[in-house]
Chain A
Amino acid sequence: MSTTLADEKARTEALKKIEAEKPRLEFGGAWEYAPAPESKDHVRLEKRYGLFVGGEFVAPRSKKYFETINPATEEVLAEVAEGNAADIDAAVRAAEEAYEKRWRKLSPAQRGKYIYRIARLLQEKSRELAVLESMNGGKPIKESRDVDVPLAVAHFFYHAGWSDKLDYAFPRHRVSPIGVCGQIIPWNFPLLMAAWKIAPALACGNTIVLKPAETTPLTSLHLAKICQEADLPPGVVNIVPGAGETGAHLVNHPRVRKIAFTGSTDVGKIIQRSIAGTAKRLTLELGGKAANIIFEDAPLDQAVEGIINGIYFNQGHVCCAGSRLLVQESVATAVLGKLSDRIATLRLGDPLDKNTDVGAINSKMQLEKIRELVACGVEEGAEIHQSACAIPSRGFWFPPTFFTGVAQSHRIAREEIFGPVLAVMTFRTPEEAVEKANNIPYGLSAGVWTDKGSKIFQITSKMKAGVIWANTFNKFDPSSPFGGYKESGFGREGGVHGLRAYVELS
């Protein structure tokens, strides 16, 4: 028999009782953490950034600039040019010219050497980029330093080597580039997403117009400087910041041959519809609502760390976040007790502090969306559990949160919150776990925790998700294909499979 909402409610009552009676952990008071902020003085921040078109930073034809801020302090970091239709057109023409005159004529091996150069320059500037990423996006420095930037470097390194080996990836086919690629990336991993898009496109011989997200344009623009320093031929990479409208101009530009989009499922559907009937190629990496399944035979302490990493990594601004926790009933109380203790120890605050676990929410708009869905969870009758951590007075913040007493039909169990909010449900049998995990239109990622290897394969083979982590979560690698089933999009990024999105086969 499956667990019901009544079971979930009963467990919530039991948990509340345990929480009320047990001695509170006093980490905050017992050990004072001295502030350990990463210094900002190494970041060569400019007051104003133009569009990167044809190898130069240029003033926008739109004549418009927008302010980009630090979400942890609400301070303005810089002014950034906003691209309009004419700017997109100029960028596409620059990319087209670079494709026809330079890039497609270059030998694949030489093409690869440019990409290696970019990888090396990223490594040289990794500290500056990590700090800038945390300043502009709000993510903890330990993540931008140890995850975002090194992975971005790895993506360039990995794909550089593919440039002259594409024939091996597609046997029996003649492989050629597509042409000008329009790429639209989100704000959760700004530099890393730029790398995921740019590296394979360049390796396959295409040229690029990239639109970074409106709240996080700075590391993409610094990547543009790296392209200059690498002497990448002008126009091969063009970067045009802006909001949704700028992206729409890029999607609808008639000379763009391929669109690669990472972002919400709603916008992905609009893009899919708007290019219907054209010859444009499309890959989509969209939303998710991953199930993280904890079996009773899992190493529980390790699993709790996996739950934490799954949902609170990057403030939950992760499309593949483990935002639905499915715990086997027999260990649910134990796991939730540990989880409740663990979130109390997470340190929320200054993203540049090396001890920070949870940084700032990326934008005011996103904070409002999180608040709305959390309020909805409470209203629908789920029980909220929240860290009592101190919230800074300025900036956008949301404490680590989880809900128990959740029904599968609740909005918090179905919709992507894209914040540090976990919906907990339970199950009795493996079949029930799989059914609940798959009972969602998304299918990006999932997690399975058990000590039994054969059980891992049995469960993962039944899950409808593109990436499945066993006894771990949120691991990425340029050699490992990433992408979703169902409404989480189509196409893969990374690995041999990721190349398919950027080549023309005949």
Chain B
Amino acid sequence: MLDRPRDSALEVRKTYKLYVGGEFIRTESGRYDPVYAAARPGKGRSASAQRRAPSAQRLSAGAQRPLLANISRGSRKDLREAVRKARAAQPGWASKSAYLKGQILYRMAEMLEGRAPSLAKLLKESHGLSPAAAQREVRATIDRLVHYAGWSDKYGAILGTVNPVASSYFDFSVPEPVGVVGIVAPETPDLLGLVSHLAPVVVSGNAAVVLLSETFPLPALEFAEVLATSDLPGGVANLLSGHKEELVPHLARHMDVLAIADAGGDAALSKTIASDAAVNVKRVKRYDVSDYFAEKAQGLDFIEAFTEIKTTWHPIGV
């Protein structure tokens, strides 16, 4: 391992597990994937190279690079369990007040602040990001959480309308959560990218099942500890590491997943998602975000994509 202590205290290593239903669990399949350190610390690989063939890279990486961890390779059954937990947790989360949801998202930012050093270290080790670049990604991730925390009690006022119908009704439209949303997280930036899609999905009362970056899963798995200590109810955010090619079709075909944020950046998988989504008329929003650090990578549009507009006709009379 990197940074091996010189004194006699032997490091206690962390076992990285899936985060499902608010618990850290090993995959039921018993399978694992080794995760190796970046080849040359200080220089990250290009994003496009990472997107192309994560599995091939992992294999070739093994020869010379130090092992960082053996992570769970999530299975179809893990995915189904995650959807089950998400579905069970979603109505309770949606019924929490907007004020409380905002505070819980803000609490995530607080918890991430406390873990900033360890996440920056993981970004350095697993990507080979420079210390400054790792620091920058963690800071941007914290800011993104704070950004969405503030949206919880505001997006409804902007997306909702009172409709001037030509009859004696009070007619209004409000955004509601869709339900269980699948998120295919971008390969990179893995931490900022994850939070950029997770936060706007959960702030409106959805529950999420996320397929994490396959190339760089460790920071996201560590981020699960932020979720676990933030008062976010268990099951609202579920994080799965594994092979996207194996898991994505099951996510896209699952009848209890009602929408998908497709930020995986893989054209072939995106086509699979778009096609399989028809099984239950899933809403699919495909993202091709060129710069997750930019201000355009956040905001109301990311929330709106995973809301349903409900219109109510209420009579006016005596």
Contact = CB atoms under 8 A, between A and B. Distances in A.
Interface of A: 154, 265, 268-270, 272-273, 275-277, 284, 286, 441, 453, 456-457, 460, 465-472, 475, 477, 479-483, 485-490, 492, 495-497, 505
Contact of B312 (A270, A277, A468, A477): A468
23 contacts: A265-B281, A277-B275, A441-B280, A460-B310, A466-B311, A468-B310, A470-B312, A470-B313, A472-B169, A472-B315, A475-B167, A477-B166, A477-B167, A479-B163, A479-B164, A479-B171, A480-B171, A480-B173, A481-B309, A482-B311, A486-B280, A492-B309, A497-B173
B163 A477 contact: yes
A496 B270 CA distance: 29
B84 to A, nearest CB: 17
A interface secondary structure, majority? mixed
B158 to A, nearest CB: 9
A460 B312 contact: yes
Given A472-B313, A480-B173, A482-B311, A277 B258 contact: no
A223 to B, nearest CB: 22
Contact of B161 (A268, A275, A277, A495): A495
A456 B308 contact: no
A417 B310 CA distance: 24
Contact of B281 (A457, A475, A487): A487
B283 interface: yes
Contact of A497 (B258, B270, B309): B309
Given A272-B277, A470-B312, A472-B169, 4 more contacts: A467-B310, A480-B165, A483-B309, A490-B283
A154 to B, nearest CB: 7
Contacts of A483: 309
Given A466-B308, A466-B310, A481-B309, A490 B165 contact: no
Given A154-B166, A477-B165, A272 B313 contact: no
B49 interface: no
Contacts, number: 104
Contacts of B1: none
Interface string B264-287: 000100110011011111010000
B4 interface: no
A276 B258 contact: no
B311 A273 contact: no
Interface in B53-88: none
A272 B252 CA distance: 13
A496 B281 contact: no
Contact of B275 (A265, A268, A276, A467): A276
Per CB-CB distance, the 4 closest pairs between chain A and chain B, nearest first, are A276-B274, A276-B275, A277-B271, A272-B278
Contact of A471 (B164, B267, B311, B315): B315
B314 interface: yes
A466 B163 CA distance: 15
Contacts of A268: 281
Nearest to B166: A477
Interface in B274-312: 274-275, 277-281, 283, 301, 308-312
A480 B311 contact: yes
Contacts of B270: 277
A276 B282 CA distance: 12
Given A470-B314, A472-B315, A475-B313, A496 B171 contact: no
A453 to B, nearest CB: 8
Contacts of A457: 312, 314
A284 B275 contact: no
Contacts of A479: 163-166, 171
**Central interface residue in A269, A275, A457, A485, by most chain B CB within 10 Å:** A485
Contact of B313 (A273, A277, A469): A469
Contacts of B258: 486
Contacts of A453: 314
Nearest to A498: B309
Contacts of A468: 310-313
B83 to A, nearest CB: 15
Interface string B125-150: 00000000000000000000000000
A453 B315 CA distance: 9
B281 A480 contact: no
Given A269-B278, A468-B310, A486-B281, A495 B173 contact: yes
Contact of A470 (B283, B308, B315): B315
**Central interface residue in B164, B171, B281, by most chain A CB within 10 Å:** B281
A498 to B, nearest CB: 10
**Central interface residue in B167, B171, B271, B277, by most chain A CB within 10 Å:** B171
Contacts of A471: 315
Contacts of B163: 477, 479-481, 495
Contacts of A469: 313
Nearest to B172: A480
A492 B249 CA distance: 28
A284 B281 contact: yes
Contacts of A496: 161
Contacts of B171: 477, 479-480
A212 B281 CA distance: 23
B278 A276 contact: yes
Contact of B311 (A272, A276, A467): A467
A465 B310 contact: yes
B27 to A, nearest CB: 29
B207 to A, nearest CB: 15
A108 B161 CA distance: 24
Nearest to A471: B315
Contacts of A441: 280
A272 B267 CA distance: 17
A469 B165 CA distance: 13
Nearest to A447: B313
A468 B313 CA distance: 6
B141 to A, nearest CB: 23
Contacts of A495: 161, 163, 173, 311
Given A466-B310, A477-B165, A487 B280 contact: yes
Contacts of B173: 480-481, 495, 497
